[in-house]
Chains A and B, each alone.
Chain A
Amino acid sequence: MAIIDEAAYGRFRERLRDYQQLVGQFFGGPGLFIVFLGVGLWALISRTDAFVIGVVAGSVFALGAIGLTLIYGVLKFAHFAHGDSMMLAAYLAFFALTGVMVGERTDTQVLPWSLSDLPGATEPILNFSFGYGLLIAMAIAAAVMVAVFILLDRLIYRPLRRRGSSIVTFAIASLGVAIAMRSLILILWASFPRFYVAGIRPTTDLPFGVRIVTDQIFIFAASLVLAALVYLLLFRTRLGKAMRATADNPELALASGISTDRVIIWTWVVGGVSVGIAGVMLALQAQLKPELGFILLLPLFAATILGGIGSPQGAFVGGMIVGITEEVAVTLGFLSPGYKFSVAFVILILILLLRPQGLFGAKT
């Protein structure tokens, strides 16, 4: 007499597998959105302070992720130098603003004239902490980063592309670039933390008893504006559509008469501008510190992959989710604040397992 009814057991296992598949599909699809919305709403209501800080942190991640997702989508490689590029941009803006570098042992004034010498350049605009000098510095930093990116592409990435290198080669190369950038910052500006503006910064009171530094509104606005601009570029302009086409299928793009070379240059241009803005905003939100660049890589990549590679709106949403989740997670009691960036890592793994194409990406 059989103790186990083989047929029934088989059917049970099959049903179990079906349920497993259903759950996987649910959480990989609509379920994910529902979970995020639900958790987001709960966080907004019960952890409002952390939520708001998370939005600001998320803005910085979003700013970086927008550039990263574009480079990842069109050029097809993980730009490991992105975080350090942001930091380099931040320091370039600092230099344009103050003209200061590290000399023999302490800071020295390297430039005879810098932006802060312009009349009223450091006078705070509105309720922010910075004056128009910082904005000009940001523009200069963005321009320099565009030049740097194009130079690096010509010197390093294009030869590697011509050679048909694998994504591994590109990853290691960009890592080398990242290290070079960070070391350059350390050589020129040393490792102690710096700030664009010294002293206490003005705050604003928001509803529901939340108080934030006014600069943070600017940072959030910047991320929204950049996301919108890049979206418009990609979906409403000829160049943008050509970029998306090249990202989809470079050979077909070439066969359609699109100059992939020019598309690549423009990708680096947008990437450079976004890195310029992102870096300055990062330094405004936190501080200027050389190590921040590499630390940022994890949340940047988490945001990019979560949002879906190639999607600026995905990068924005992804950045927000990562930022909010990080801040809220450490309020839960069992995680100490040091684990903040590991939260991004957990999000990354979950997304790769559940929905590798990201929220706004297409299933390949």
Chain B
Amino acid sequence: MTAVLEASELVSGYGEVEILHGVSLRLDIGEIVAIIGPNGAGKSTLMKAIFGLLKVKSGTVRLESEDITGMSPERIVRKGMCYVPQSENVFPSLSIRENLEMGAFTRRDGFRHRLDEIYALFPDLAQRPQLRAGKLSGGQRQMLALARALMLDPKVLLLDEPTASLAPKMVDDIFATIRNINQTGVAILIVEQNAKEALSICHRAYVLAGGNNRLEGTGPELLASEEVGKLYLGT
């Protein structure tokens, strides 16, 4: 199985402070891979480093065998990898439609077509496309954030804690949507605080702690693991 996204020995952080001390992961085509771990483990930092939002001090990131380490997000987006931040992931003063327009900013053609496809995947958003995104509920906003990132038909989707601060019903909806998106062929890397749910929908997962790889395995494996259970699942 060829890896569509590969990170090796990434060292990165904020300014002088080093958070990741050499983290590696692999995402294969069509997979959902989850990254779980305690707070401060560096999960979000890892995602930002992969996406070019943080300086990578050493290590590499490869997207379909192309080295994209340190590339600017604008270019990475054009290469087919999109990112949904944990919070503030929509443009509040823009309408739903405008948000989606911005998601497809670098797209030259086929915008209308893609918009219709997205509206089909997210029927709620199609209801009132002129509505200002700032007025949406938490769950609707997450949906919009996901939809925005999909406008460019990415091969890889990076999701940073998509269910943070959502009601349980919305959490289920979001995970269902993530599964749907994956079915359409998008490989998804997802950072999650909600370890149990994340492990139940993913193919494989990595456990991160203190800026290092701790464990790795398939979803069911880690769900069953006692160590993971005690530390992160509360069992």
Contact = CB atoms under 8 A, between A and B. Distances in A.
Interface of A: 238, 241-242, 244-245, 247-249, 251-259, 310, 362
Contacts of B132: 362
Nearest to A310: B93
B66 interface: no
Nearest to B82: A255
B148 interface: yes
A242 B85 contact: no
Contacts of B105: 238, 242, 256-258
Contacts of A362: 92-93, 132, 134
Contact of A244 (B72, B82, B88, B93): B93
A238 B101 contact: yes
Nearest to A363: B134
B102 A253 contact: yes
B152 interface: yes
Contacts of A242: 102, 105
B81 to A, nearest CB: 10
Contacts of B78: 257
Given A256-B77, A257-B78, A245 B53 contact: no
Contacts of A249: 88, 91-92
B92 A258 contact: no
B92 A255 contact: no
28 contacts: A238-B101, A241-B98, A241-B102, A242-B105, A244-B93, A244-B98, A245-B91, A245-B102, A248-B91, A249-B88, A251-B53, A252-B85, A252-B89, A252-B91, A254-B72, A254-B74, A255-B53, A255-B83, A255-B85, A256-B77, A256-B102, A256-B105, A256-B148, A257-B74, A258-B74, A258-B102, A310-B93, A362-B132
B70 interface: no
Closest 6 CB pairs of A and B: A257-B77, A257-B106, A248-B91, A245-B91, A245-B102, A254-B73
A251 B72 CA distance: 12
Contact of B73 (A245, A247, A255, A310): A255
A255 B77 contact: yes
A257 B103 CA distance: 8
Given A238-B101, A242-B105, A257-B106, A251 B85 contact: yes
Interface of B: 51, 53, 72-74, 77-78, 82-83, 85, 88-94, 98, 101-103, 105-106, 132, 134, 148, 152
A159 B73 CA distance: 21
Contacts of B53: 251, 254-255
Contact of A257 (B88, B98, B152): B152
Contacts of B82: 255
Contacts of A255: 51, 53, 73, 77, 82-83, 85
B217 to A, nearest CB: 30
A347 to B, nearest CB: 24
Contacts of A248: 91-94
B103 A256 contact: yes
Nearest to A248: B91
Contacts of A257: 73-74, 77-78, 105-106, 152
Contacts of A247: 93
A192 B55 CA distance: 54
A129 B105 CA distance: 46
A246 B36 CA distance: 31
A313 to B, nearest CB: 13
A247 B148 CA distance: 17
Contacts of A241: 94, 98, 101-102
Contacts of A252: 85, 88-91
Contacts of B152: 257
Contacts of B148: 256
A256 B104 CA distance: 7
Nearest to B77: A257
A254 B54 CA distance: 13
A248 to B, nearest CB: 4
Given A241-B102, A244-B91, A256-B103, 5 more contacts: A241-B98, A242-B105, A254-B73, A257-B77, A362-B132
A310 B92 CA distance: 13
**Which interface residue of B53, B77, B83, B91 has the most chain A CB atoms within 10 A?**
B91
A193 to B, nearest CB: 42
